[in-house]
Structure 1
Amino acid sequence: MNAARVSILALLVFWAASALAVVAVPPLVGRVVDRTGTLSSGDIASLNQTIRTFEARKGSQIAVLIVPTTDGEAIEPFSLRVAEAWKIGRNKIDDGALLVIVKNDRRLRIEVGYGLEGALTDATTKRIIDEEITPKFKSGDFAGGVSAGVNKMIRIIDGEKLPEPEPPHWHQQTGLFDVDALFNPFLLIPVFLFGGLMRTMLGRLVGAAVGGGVVTLIAWFLFGSIVAAIFAGLIAALFVLFSDAITSSTSGGSGSWSGGSSGGSWSSGGSSSSSGSSDSGGGGGSFGGGGASGSW
């Protein structure tokens, strides 16, 4: 009985030690994450620029990870763990690809998202490893090997029909400018406060002119449209001219104004801003183990 308990305890300790020995997935801090110092800052900047340009044009995402070792873990499960953690590729399109290099173990793998498995097949990724990457690695040219592999992946993905990437938010306007943006409360509140200050300091007419002019310049900078800028400036000037009538008609409403500004909309706006995609974030793509491994 005691022997059985000792055996079970030893097995549990072994499992716990094995779990603790698994190499943690590094955080995704850019499209190229080098935990070995193999690539120079210039190499990383160049690769990041190449991948960012491709991502903006095609929508698909590529990432590179270089680690010293997996401490005995096979590269296939390690690479898949990284892919699942980073979620490279767009959500529901799953058009991500990940190049993982384990330098000290002399192993590498290309992990392919579901949406690219028709282009980056197992055979294709194996050829990229054998023909583009490992010959340069064998000669010590790691930067050249990574660059060659990434560029080959980009050329192949370019031939795949994928959904168009979404344009940046500031390019989504179909007309000269978005009128609704001018009535955003986060823009209107500073305008009203500034206009009221100008009226108090300079008087009604001069304050209206100065306030409208400054708002015109700011709006021109923000919207990039002279029409939008003039429109915003006129609104500000009119507010300065008639702000006394507005405030008198809404006297007693300061409590509701304060309540509105302290409501949930501020935190909601901040939340959506922080949750937006960034250069270092994955897009929510999924992986199923497609790809190929190699060594040098």
Structure 2
Amino acid sequence: MLKKWMFTFVLLLVLPLSVVAQDIPERPTTAGFVFDYQNVIDDAVEAEINEIAKRLQEEGKMELMIVTVPTIGELEPYEYGMKFFREWGIGDAEKDNGMLIYITTDMGEGNNVVRISTGYGMEGSYPDSETQRLIQTYMKESLKSGDYTSAFANVVEAIRVKEDIDYTWENDGAVIEEMSENTEESEETLFEKITGIFFTIIGILFFLIMAGVALLIAYVVLEGIFRRLQGLFYWIFEAIFRKDIRSKGYIKYLENKKQEQKKNKARKASGLYYDNHYDSSNSSDSYSYGSGDSGGGGSDDRF
């Protein structure tokens, strides 16, 4: 009787953990790159996505996996993606060039997950900003409307264009072709916008710097001219009227300035002059920063 109660107690402890730790599907034994467990991708388009993924692998670009599942349970999207990478071994062992794109279908509107996970070797070409762009530009709207086929076809086409893989779609040709053209145009437009903004900022900074330099030069020149005219006026007035009209304060200021200049010369000559200049290369307060590994990356969103 005691053993029965102990077994029941242990079962109650383990059962919640098994619910929270959502299992992923077992590693497939059949060849392929698309595993539509929820049967939401059109079969003909699925076959073409498989073909593109095959060519990506054959040309050493990446190992792309497409998966649809009902839910990720209580796991975070990145944790669920990591489980796939570990248990399926996605990507070449040496290149670590795996990419996983998965979605959930049964977590409810606004809670379903789309995630793109990448291996270490993909972070150069597909940093988090790029994987987020792929989701937002090519998948999000189609997923929200329930068009899973277009979502996967569009993102795979964007990857095909980026990786320069030769392939012509047979199914949904007009949609894919239009998307492909928009992909190239959007990339060009984005580059043009960034370039335009960059040169605009550079132009503004250059104008401000030149305006500042011009104002400084004008100030120095005008101040010198004013001082000379002022001195000339004082000299003429004193020569005519035999009287120095300069204020006592101004005269004292000139005398103090001359004395300070003499003191500075004397200090420099004796080596006691203090130059208040900070040299960062000789400072003991400078910092050196290290860098670390972030591991595989990726991005996700809800729909």
TM-score (norm 2): 0.49
Q: Which has the higher contact order (CA 8 A, sep 6+)?
A: 1
Structure of larger gyration radius:
2
TM-score (norm 1): 0.50
